[in-house]
Structure 1
């Protein structure tokens, strides 16, 4: 599953920050400041202006990856990619400790404090790779800055997306990657569109067999109940994410034609 947000058809993603720096929290301001520290003043000014003028057409938050499309000087939009590493082994106890304090359900709903968010959103320098299909490389170019501005506004409002960006919790079966990239300029019905998609680092789910009750009584549900009963936060979070992938894959079927 992944999260996509984009603007209305013919327009990009709107931002709320009309002047000054982007980022409402210490951790989001720190991340974008680290990126801007490696960019030219022209790229920073132009990138912020591009974000405010809705040049960023769409942003997809996937498993350890963010992919976005930005309108620029050429007919086709430029593609910007951020690649995030998994958490360092030394950070895992911090993450698990913070999850234990706030509670799993609250964290998944977005109740993430600054300590946890700071660990989940690392400094760019040496930790986050970025690229853009524009000629102004190695950057950070104005397109990467524009995407970063839009991204931190999203994370300020929905910090639970940080888990997917960092690939936490780690999951088996990373082969057979499958990722949907949004079509540049694709129209939406609202300014911000969140939805669940198949995990980009997992193979396509198998065809289900039996009834829905069979699935609910299956091994995944029993494993989930066992993890909850034993207070295993890491296993619970992983199984929840897998069950969501399965649930939404069952609904990913074409609409019947109207008569």
Structure 2
């Protein structure tokens, strides 16, 4: 059955079957950063004095604390790429050895003996090496004009991080001061991006949203309780099907 284009409203959504969308109204050329290669860095770091390793970092120890009682949590994790070295590999200069220097910063909170929450700022400097990374150079040279003329770098190395303080321990250091040691776990996705032109199907400009964003009206708690479904009194049973041909849709 043909799809009525006039009744079709372009919007973000999941496309999971053929024939659900009409033919596009045009093909559009857009300029976007395209990911050419990516890899994952996974680290679990603990404090250790001396040279940093794949599992230790000397900057995961705080300055002396003020009457600490217990560690609470860590927050506001950020990452900043300090510098990057790209070394072309012999045989194929599109593949490069990448040396990344980046900084991870965060705050750790602890409670002192008076019940006051205090914070310590951590900043660790890390270096990681990617032995072989597809990071081709742009063939075209790009220049853009604005109020101030500047050169645009079409080659981008991008870092995306998810980090968590896995543990925090208050202990005495060699000088007898109480300090906080953090166990840090993080995932970093390293992406090599290049500014390219892509051809994509387009339907129309996005539709204008409704005039006002509505708020949920306040509802009496007892009325909300009366409308609520009866809760389950027992947890789900962890049972395997008795027969291999068992199908949930046949229930």
Q: TM-score range by the shorter chain?
A: under 0.3
- What is the TM-score normalised by the length of structure 2? 0.25
The answer to which structure has the higher helix fraction is: 1
Q: TM-score, normalised by structure 1?
A: 0.24
User: Could you say which structure has the higher strand fraction?
Assistant: 2
